[in-house]
Structure 1
Amino acid sequence: MRDNLPERMEHGGRVRWHNTRVRGKLLDFSANINPYPPEIPWTPDPATLKDYPDDQYETLKEVIGRRFRRDAAEIAVGNGSVELIRAFCSAVLGADDAACIKPPTFAEYEMAVRLAGARCTTEERGVAVRFLCNPNNPTGRLYTRPEVLQVLEENAKQGSYLFLDEAFIELADPRQSLAEISHENLFVLRSLTKSFAVPGIRFGYAFGTPELIEKIETVRLPWTVNAFAEAFAIEAFRHYERLEESRERIARERDWLSGRLRDLGLSYEPPSANYILLEVPTDAEVLVRRLLERGILVRDCRSFGLPRHIRVAVRTREENRQLIEALEACLS
């Protein structure tokens, strides 16, 4: 029996759990979900549940491939992006390997590396994989396409993979994406559920060379994308261009929210997507509790190693007003 398993990582979006423990309905600013998702003309068909999904997901991959000009053999799909992070690490890392992870960033990278038996480091040299989240979660830093290409070149020179997590790039600036590039040292991760505001269906997808994707398919559990998730994803990719309107509306609301936060005297990282990392004048735990008492759930960033920071999602104008009012009351 293994007794050296890492501790489970903490995530946002636990609004259902909190709703069972507080009075009234909470506003969830802890999960970075598109507040202006495209309307998708899709209704669940119970008849699809009588059969197993096609574990090759050929139709789904063909739809994704047409959208991103990639061959179906270069596409992996999974039960959320986390499954693909773990499948990738299981496929390419071993006990003698190291992976470069520079905090603060998404905690599941470290979890997946350690579960694969490898170790984590902040050094860029002598590693098997370098993880890069673009835009970064939780800071919101967005690397330009030339910057990411430079990182890819550096990794390629030492024969290591660049694991590029673009889970939020569709809500930031997709012009900086490398999703259409096929390179033997590159693996690009995406998340449909954040962009289309359907985290409950759990769907992630990724791009790599056919050889890398075959390894990932070998370690991936079968049938992890259920029939409803597959059907919704196919329809969503057919309306993918509608995300442009979402980005425009998020950018306007992000600017408004940033201005109000600045008026409160709060410092924040320059945001690029649908969330903002805030430095707060008290312990994050204290402020999170105070906000929760006012019906506002935010992301406590202590798990990112940031004890005096919270992360807030960008939501609709009226919801953002309520956040500002709650922050003003809690900080006064």
Structure 2
Amino acid sequence: MLEHGGRLQRAIQHYGIAREDWLDLSSGIAPWSYAIPEIPLRAWARLPETDDGLEQAASAYYGAESLLPVAGSQAAIQALPQLRGRSKVGVLSPCYAEHAEGWRRAGHELIELREDQVEQQLDSLDVLVVVNPNNPTGRLVPAEQLLDWHARLASRGGWLLVDEAFMDNTPQHSIAAHADRPGLIVLRSFGKFFGLAGVRLGFALAERALLLQLAELLGPWTVSGPTRILGQACLLDTAAHQQQIIRCTEASQRLARVLGAAGFAPTGGCDLFQYLVSDQALRLHEFMARRGILLRLFTAPLSLRFGLPASDQDFQRLEQAFNDYRKEHP
């Protein structure tokens, strides 16, 4: 299995630091979780119902006509490559590594592309995969560019797959409203913005015929009854959405200032994380970990992703660690 952030238990064992003493900044998940609604007993006792209002709440939230709830967008990432015959697939990289792995594992011809290579390669591709905003760089491809790429692919029966896992903070840049167009697939993640990654909920947005194929492949009851109730309550809580957007934006901007003041101005980022390319990344990752601060390390290129600290105390702890680092590595 590929490496991911959030591997706190492994860090606990490796560094011998108790769970309650860690500041885990290794994943791009909002550190403020939505309140869990009361879950009625019937949600635990009965098989999940698909006419309970979750799809309608998600359609309103994403502005999409047709969608399919899935057990985290990861489920769709792994299943979608099985719905095409052998294809030439371009993945805009670096990005969330499960995309390339999923298409490669399913036997497709895979090429990883930089953004400036897409125009040259697009007409030779059957599928283009874009994470937008990108994970881990935070790069945001304009909607107009994505829709142009889609039109060119769809004219030949191709797909544009856009993973909008980190888009909830900037919904004005989403292309979810266009996902009913043939050949356009948009994935949305529930857990990151709502701070509830453990519930394993996501959505695939696409034309209805493709969603029926995906549903058939995934099988029935892929999303549990309690998750459906929880997801619906969060998606309908519009006042809390705005509060979450504001505090994520403020925390991300503050995090960028902390990094800059420490001499590590971010290379990129979005409202759920900041990204730093640095030849000191490996040393800084180890230094922070030994002080109970877990970051996400990438090796190609050598870089770090910083999730959002949740409180003033967490920010002060990170700033103090940077001060200590500068003393040891002036």
Q: Same fold (TM over 0.5)?
A: yes
Residue 315 (structure 1) aligns with? 309
Residue 12 (structure 1) aligns with? 5
Equivalent position amino acid for 2:91 in 1: I
* 8 Å contact from structure 1 (residues 101, 131) kept in 2: yes
Match of 1:254 among 236, 252, 266: 252
Deviation track 1:59-91 (CA, whole Å, cap 9, x = no partner) reads 3212222334444xx211111111011121111
Measure, in 1, the Cα distance between the counterparts of 2:247 and 2:90: 35
* 8 Å contact from structure 2 (residues 83, 213) kept in 1: yes
Considering only aligned residues, what root-mean-square deviation do their CA atoms show, in Å? 2.0
* 8 Å contact from structure 1 (residues 38, 243) kept in 2: no
Measure, in 1, the Cα distance between the counterparts of 2:148 and 2:87: 23
Q: Secondary structure at the match of 1:99?
A: strand
Measure, in 2, the Cα distance between the counterparts of 1:275 and 1:49: 35
Q: 1:321 offset after TM fit, Å? A: 2.5
Residue 275 (structure 1) aligns with? 273
Residue 116 (structure 2) aligns with? none
Measure, in 1, the Cα distance between the counterparts of 2:52 and 2:161: 24
Residue 47 (structure 2) aligns with? 52
Measure, in 1, the Cα distance between the counterparts of 2:57 and 2:272: 26
Residue 119 (structure 1) aligns with? 109
Measure, in 1, the Cα distance between the counterparts of 2:151 and 2:73: 25
Match of 1:91 among 76, 83, 86: 83
* 8 Å contact from structure 1 (residues 77, 84) kept in 2: no
Equivalent position amino acid for 1:184 in 2: P
Residue 4 (structure 1) aligns with? none
- Once structures 1 and 2 are overlaid, which stretch shifts more, 310-319 or 181-190? 310-319
Residue 180 (structure 1) aligns with? 177
Q: Within 5 Å, give how 1:50-199 maps onto structure 2.
A: 50-54=45-49, 56=50, 59-71=53-65, 74-92=66-84, 94=85, 96-121=86-111, 122=113, 123-171=121-169, 173-181=170-178, 182-199=180-197
Structure 1, unmatched stretches of 5+, are 1-7
Q: Secondary structure at the match of 1:152?
A: helix
* 8 Å contact from structure 1 (residues 38, 246) kept in 2: no
Q: 1:144 offset after TM fit, Å? A: 2.5
Measure, in 1, the Cα distance between the counterparts of 2:92 and 2:142: 18
Measure, in 2, the Cα distance between the counterparts of 1:91 and 1:241: 38
Q: 1:38 offset after TM fit, Å? A: 4.3
Q: 1:57 offset after TM fit, Å? A: 5.8
Q: 1:256 offset after TM fit, Å? A: 1.9
Would the alpha carbon gap of residues 70 and 310 (structure 1) be closer, same or farther in structure 2, given more than 3 Å must change? closer
Deviation track 1:181-206 (CA, whole Å, cap 9, x = no partner) reads 12102101001111111111111112
Residue 324 (structure 2) aligns with? 329
Would the alpha carbon gap of residues 53 and 264 (structure 1) be closer, same or farther in structure 2, given more than 3 Å must change? same
Structure 2, unmatched stretches of 5+, are 114-120
Q: Secondary structure at the match of 1:101?
A: strand
Q: 1:258 offset after TM fit, Å? A: 1.2
Measure, in 2, the Cα distance between the counterparts of 1:103 and 1:68: 26
Would the alpha carbon gap of residues 45 and 285 (structure 1) be closer, same or farther in structure 2, given more than 3 Å must change? farther
Deviation track 1:99-137 (CA, whole Å, cap 9, x = no partner) reads 111211010101110222112113433222111111000
Residue 299 (structure 1) aligns with? 296
Q: 1:37 offset after TM fit, Å? A: 4.3
Percent sequence identity over matched residues? 24
Equivalent position amino acid for 1:12 in 2: G
Would the alpha carbon gap of residues 242 and 65 (structure 1) be closer, same or farther in structure 2, given more than 3 Å must change? same
Measure, in 2, the Cα distance between the counterparts of 1:287 and 1:320: 17
* 8 Å contact from structure 1 (residues 169, 273) kept in 2: no
Would the alpha carbon gap of residues 159 and 226 (structure 1) be closer, same or farther in structure 2, given more than 3 Å must change? same
Determine whether 1:31 maps to 2:24: no
